[in-house]
């Protein structure tokens, strides 16, 4: 992040918000993110295909919590695959970018309830409880942690590639830089580092052709 700020001629320690940068600033930013030894997991929600949308509309932040569950499932698989014996305790430290109107205790409780059902319904519960502990979830201000700013750049890069703007255009130019960060299982990224919900890639693509930008990732 120091290098990015130097390139963009930003003051030291200035927090970066991808959406506030110009395109010619975003490109060197995501290029450097793509060169980091990191893995990324992304959940992409196409709301028009949600069945029973009223269920999510009637309960505040339910969709956010559900997407968090899908995200942490895949994070837990990634950590499980790569953790090393006798190094740490095997658990992930899950850090959210703090939103003032969000209750992170509600997210912890949601996950506690979800994980408590794992013994009776292992087919449904796919979060590895040896990796994710709700008590290890915290929230930090975006400006306080460089990793949160990197995560913002990744999520925003995908957002601009899929969100059709008022001119009917998308901006997929950030994706080639982020491609090698995507979590893959046996060389497959779709369903792992890139999770589409509520339907599969072909179904979403039929209604939202812009999803073609993800092909080849």
HEC string of 100-138 equals CCCCHHHHHHHHHHHHHCCCCCCCCCCCCCCCCCHHHEE
Span 9-34, average pLDDT = 96
Predicted confidence band at 148 (pLDDT cuts at 50, 70, 90)? very high
Q: With a cut of 90, say whether residue 64 has pLDDT above it.
A: yes
Q: How far apart are CA 56 and CA 210, in angstroms?
A: 25
Percent over 70 (pLDDT), the chain: 97
Span 169-175, average pLDDT = 97
Q: With a cut of 80, say whether residue 118 has pLDDT above it.
A: no
Q: With a cut of 80, say whether residue 98 has pLDDT above it.
A: yes
Pair 193, 183: CB distance under 8 Å: yes
The backbone torsions φ and ψ at residue 86, rounded to the nearest 5 degrees and listed phi first, read 65, 25
Q: With a cut of 70, say whether residue 122 has pLDDT above it.
A: no
Q: With a cut of 70, say whether residue 215 has pLDDT above it.
A: yes
192: helix, strand or coil: coil
Span 55-75, average pLDDT = 94
The backbone torsions φ and ψ at residue 133, rounded to the nearest 5 degrees and listed phi first, read -120, 115
Q: How far apart are CA 132 and CA 71, in angstroms?
A: 11
Span 27-33, average pLDDT = 97
State the pTM of this model.
Answer: 0.92
Span 169-196, average pLDDT = 96
Q: Which helix (H) or strand (E) element contains residue 76?
A: helix 62-82
Q: With a cut of 90, say whether residue 124 has pLDDT above it.
A: no
189: helix, strand or coil: coil
Q: Where do the domains of the chain lie?
A: 2-214
Residue 119 pLDDT: 64
Predicted confidence band at 1 (pLDDT cuts at 50, 70, 90)? very high
Burial of 180 (C-beta count, 10 Å sphere; 0-12/13-18/19+): middle
Q: How far apart are CA 169 and CA 167, in angstroms?
A: 6
- DSSP bridge partners of 194: 42, 190
43: helix, strand or coil: strand
Predicted confidence band at 42 (pLDDT cuts at 50, 70, 90)? very high
């Amino acid at each position: 992040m120091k290098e990015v700020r130097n390139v963009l001629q930003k003051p030291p320690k200035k927090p970066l918000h991808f959406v506030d940068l110009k395109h010619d600033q975003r490109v060197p930013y995501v290029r450097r993110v793509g060169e980091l030894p990191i893995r990324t997991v992304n959940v992409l929600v196409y709301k028009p295909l949600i069945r029973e949308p009223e269920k999510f509309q009637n309960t505040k932040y339910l969709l956010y919590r559900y997407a968090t569950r899908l995200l942490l499932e895949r994070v837990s698989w990634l950590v499980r695959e790569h953790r090393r014996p006798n190094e740490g305790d095997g658990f992930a430290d899950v850090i959210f970018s703090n939103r003032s109107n969000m209750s992170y205790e509600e997210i912890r409780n949601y996950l506690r309830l979800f994980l408590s059902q794992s013994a009776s319904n292992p087919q449904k519960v796919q979060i590895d409880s040896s990796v994710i502990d709700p008590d290890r979830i915290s929230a930090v201000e975006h400006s306080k942690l460089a990793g949160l700013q990197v995560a913002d750049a990744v999520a925003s890069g995908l957002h601009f590639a899929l969100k059709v703007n008022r001119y009917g255009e998308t901006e997929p130019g950030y994706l080639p830089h982020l491609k090698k960060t995507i979590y893959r299982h046996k060389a497959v990224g779709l369903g792992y580092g890139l999770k589409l919900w509520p339907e599969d890639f072909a179904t979403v693509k039929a209604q939202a052709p812009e999803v073609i930008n993800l092909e080849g990732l």
